[in-house]
Amino acid sequence: MSKKKVKKLINGKGIRYDGRKLNELRPIKLEVGVLDNADGSAYIEQGKNKILAAVYGPKEVHPKHLAMPDRSLLRCRYHMAPFSVEERKSPAPSRREKELSKVIREAFEPSVFTEYYPRTSIDIVIEVLQADGGTRCAGITAASLALADAGIPMRDLVSACAAGKVEGHLVLDVADLEDKQGEADVPVAYMPNLNAITLLQMDGMLTSEEFEQAINLAVEGCKQIYQLQKEALKAKYVEVKEAKKEDAEQ
Amino acid sequence: MNLKIVVMKKMPVLYERRQIVTPGDLLAENDYMAGENTFKENGKIYATRVGLVNYENRNIYVMALKSFYFPMVGDTVIGKVIDVSLIGWMIDVKAPYRALLRASDVLERSFRPQRDDLPSMFDVGDIIIANIVASDRTRGPLLTIREPGLGKITRGQITEITPTKIPRLIGKKGSMISIIKKETGCQVFVGQNGSIIVSGKSPEDERLAIMAIHKIEQEAHTSGLTDRVAEMIRKEKNEKKEVSGKHV
C-alpha cells in the first residue's frame, strides 16, 4: 500500500499512470443481451471494471403493498461480488451499496416512462464482478443498455462518467488508484439528447470554478460513452442484417 | 449556426425509413405527429425504444425490435392457468399483469360455488386461447373464451417470440404464416402476446415450423424473408427424406 502511495500519477507531459491523457476515457467494451434469463441485460468492461446489469419487468410487484396505482415501481440493486476487490468483501449489502442503489435508481427515474405501467415493478440489478473505480458510472451505463434491451420505453439513454482532480489536474474517468490518492471525484449521469443531468455527486474538495469545469469534462465523457452505447444496441441487430446481405450476394 | 437551421427546415425527418434508432434519438421536428414508441417534447419527436423508424403521412413511429406484451382489448392471447380462485382462473398471458377468466364466462350461466367444480374445467398448467374483453390502468385484463376457436388447447407444441414481431410472422395479408402452414402441414395459432401453438401430424413437422418461426423472429428486420423461410423449410424437408431413404 505504501509503495503505491509514492507512485506519481501524472507525469510532466500530462500523461497519467496508465498512459491516458487527462481528458481520455479508459477503453470501453459494451455488449447487449448477454443473459437469457433476464428480460434485458448488458455487460460493460471499462478499464479493469467488469460489470453485469440485468433488468426484469414490468411485472407484478412483490410485496404487493409497494405497488403504486399511478406508475411503475423502479427498484435497483447495486452489488459488488465478494471477489470484485482485492480483499474479500462481505456479500451482504453494505451501507455504501445501499446508497449507490438509491442514487442509481434516481438517475433512471427521469428517463424511464414509469407512468405507462401502473401497479408494476421494474427491477434493475447491477453486479460488479471486478471493480477498478467508477463502478457506479459504469453500472449506470450498462443498466441503461439493459433497460433498452428489455424494451422498456425511455426518454433517453443514460450515460455516466466521472471527472476528478488528481495531483492538481482535472482528469476524466477516474480510476481506482486516482480516486484513492486524488483530491476530488465528481460522478455525473447525463441524458445527452435531452441535455439533462440525472446524477451529480462530489467527493473531496474543489473550487467552484473547478467544479464547473469538472462537470463539463464529465459531460463530454458521457457524450463519448453515449455513442458507444448506441453502437452496442444496434450491433445486436446489424450483425444479423449484414450476415443475411452476404448470404444473398453469394 | 444560421446554416444549420436552414438544413433542419428542409429535412424535417432525420432518419430514412427502416433505419435502426435507439431511445432518445431525435426523429423529427414540429409538423409531425408522435406515433408508437415515440414521444414529443418542445416540438421535437424522440424514439423511446430500440427499433426501426417509419413514417406514414405526418405520423412518425418506431417498430420496436424487442418488447414485452401489453394487454389490449380485442387481442387474442395464449395463456397458462396459474391459479384457480374462488370466482375463476388466473391466467399468465406473459404481460405485466395477471389476467382473469371468470367462471361465469366458461359456464355461460351464473356461477354456483357450491356445485360447480372449477378445477375439473381448467386446472393449473392448462393452456388456453382467449380474447381480452376489458383492460385498463386500474385492473388486470379480463378474458373470455365464448367465441369459436377459443378455449383449452390439448395438443401441439408451444413456443414464444417477442410480441412486436407477430405482424412480421403473419406477414402481409397472412403471406408468411400461410407459407409455414402450407410447407409444414401444421396448424399454427398465434397469440398477440407472443405465444404460438403449433400442432401438426408429427413432432418432426412441429419442430420444423418452430424453427421457421424463430428464424423469422431473428431476421424480422431484414428483407426478402418470406422466400428465405420457404427455402429453408423445403431444404430441411428434403434432407429428412434423404436420411430416412438411406435407412430404408
Chain A residues touching B50 at Cβ < 8 A: 148-149, 151, 233-234, 237
Nearest residue in A to B163, CA atom: A151
Calculate what percentage of chain B has a pLDDT beyond 70.
93
B67 CB neighbours in chain A (<8 A) are: 151
Average pLDDT (B204-232) is 89
Question: Does some domain include residue A224?
Answer: yes
Determine the Cα–Cα distance for residues B15 and B138; give it in Å rounded to an integer: 37
Residue of chain A with shortest Cα separation from B164: A151
Number of domains in chain A: 1
C-beta of residue B47 within 8 angstroms of C-beta of residue B36? no
Residues of A with CB under 8 A from a CB of B: 39-40, 57-60, 69, 113, 117-120, 148-151, 153-157, 191-194, 229-230, 233-234, 237-238, 240-241, 244-245, 248
Question: ipTM of the assembly?
Answer: 0.89
| Coil, strand or helix at A21 | strand
The vertex-B192 CA angle with B189 and B196, nearest 5°, equals 35
> Looking at this protein, which amino acid is placed at residue A63?
P
Binning pLDDT at 50, 70 and 90, where does residue B1 land? very low
Residue A249: pLDDT above 70? Answer: no
What CATH number did the domain enclosing A159 receive?
3.30.230.70
State the Cα–Cα distance between residues A192 and A48, nearest whole angstrom.
25
Instruction: Determine the structural domain holding residue A226 and report its residue range.
Output: 16-249
User: Which residue in chain B is spatially nearest to A72 when comparing CA positions?
Assistant: B96
Q: B-chain residues within 8 Å CB-CB of A112?
A: none
B218 close contact with A: CB closer than 8 A? yes
Asked if B96 lies within 8 A of A229 by C-beta distance, the reply is no
Please determine, looking at this structure, whether the domain spanning B76-153 carries the CATH number 2.102.10.10. Answer: no
pLDDT band at A204 (very low <50, low <70, confident <90, very high): very high
CB contacts of B100 in chain A (<8 Å) are: none
Is A215 within the bounds of a domain?
yes
Q: Which three cell numbers stand for residue B193?
A: 402476446
Best probe of the A interface among B45, B66, B138, by most A CBs < 10 A, is: B66
Write the CA distances from B24 to A44, A157, A203, B89, B143, integer angstroms. Answer: 20, 6, 30, 40, 36
B2-64 matches B76-153 in fold: yes
Q: Does a structural domain hold residue A9? A: no
Beta strand pairing call for B51-56 and B26-29: unpaired
List chain A residues with CB under 8 Å of B28.
none
Residue-range domain boundaries for chain B? 2-64, 76-153, 157-247
Q: How many CB pairs under 8 A join A and B?
A: 88
DSSP string for residues in A147-172? HHHTT--BSS--EEEEEEEETTEEEE
Is residue A84 in some structural domain?
yes
Residues comprising chain A, all counted: 250
| Whether the Cβ atoms of residue B213 and residue B168 lie closer than 8 Å to each other | no
Cα–Cα dist B240/B248, whole Å: 13
Sign of CA dihedral A218, A224, A230, A233: negative
Class of the CATH-defined domain B157-247: alpha beta
**Across residues B77-103, what is the average pLDDT?**
95
Q: Which residue of B has its CA nearest to A247?
A: B228
Residue from B176, B36, B129, B140 nearest A60 by CA: B140
Order of all β-strands in the sheet with B195-199:
B157-160, B195-199, B187-190
What is the residue-averaged pLDDT of chain A? Answer: 93
Residue of A nearest to B95 (CA): A59
Average pLDDT, integer, range B73-90: 95
Side chain identity, residue B33:
M
**Cβ neighbours of B64 in A, within 8 Å:** 151
Q: Does domain B2-64 have CATH number 2.40.50.100?
A: yes
Q: How far apart are CA B239 and CA B241, in angstroms?
A: 5
Alpha carbon distance B137, B112 (integer Å): 30
Euclidean distance between CA atoms A86 and A151, whole angstroms: 36
Classify burial at A68, counting beta carbons within 10 Å of its beta carbon; exposed 0-12, middle 13-18, buried 19 or more. Answer: middle
Confidence at residue B7, expressed as pLDDT on a 0 to 100 scale: 43
In order, the DSSP letters of B71-130 are --TT-EEEEEEEEE-SSEEEEE-SSSS-EEEEHHHHHTS---TTT--HHHHS-TT-EEEE
C-alpha cell at B157: 407444441
Across the range B135-159, mean pLDDT stands at 92
- Which amino acid would we find at residue B193? N
Choose the mutation target among B14, B68, B165, B235 for the interface with A, i.e. most A CBs under 10 Å.
B68
Buried b (16+ CB within 10 A) or exposed e, B209-221: bbbbbeebbebbb
CA distance B28 to B15: 8
3-class secondary-structure state, position B239: helix
Q: pLDDT tens digit string along A102-132?
A: 999 999 999 999 999 999 999 999 999 999 9
CA A33, CA B54: separation in Å to the nearest integer?
25
CA distance A49 to chain B (A): 25
Quote the pLDDT of residue B56.
Answer: 85
B20 contacts on A by Cβ (under 8 Å)? 234, 237-238
For B96, name the nearest residue in chain A, comparing CA atoms only. Answer: A59
Rg (CA), chain B: 23
Report the pLDDT averaged over residues B76-90.
Answer: 95
Q: What pLDDT is stored for residue B225 in this prediction?
A: 87
Q: Give the gap in angstroms from C-alpha B221 to the nearest C-alpha of chain A.
A: 7
Instruction: Note whether B25 and B10 are within 8 A (CB).
Output: no
Residue A226 lies inside a defined structural domain of this protein = yes
Q: How many Cβ atoms sit within 10 Å of the Cβ of residue B76? A: 16
Contacts of B164 in chain A (CB under 8 A): 151
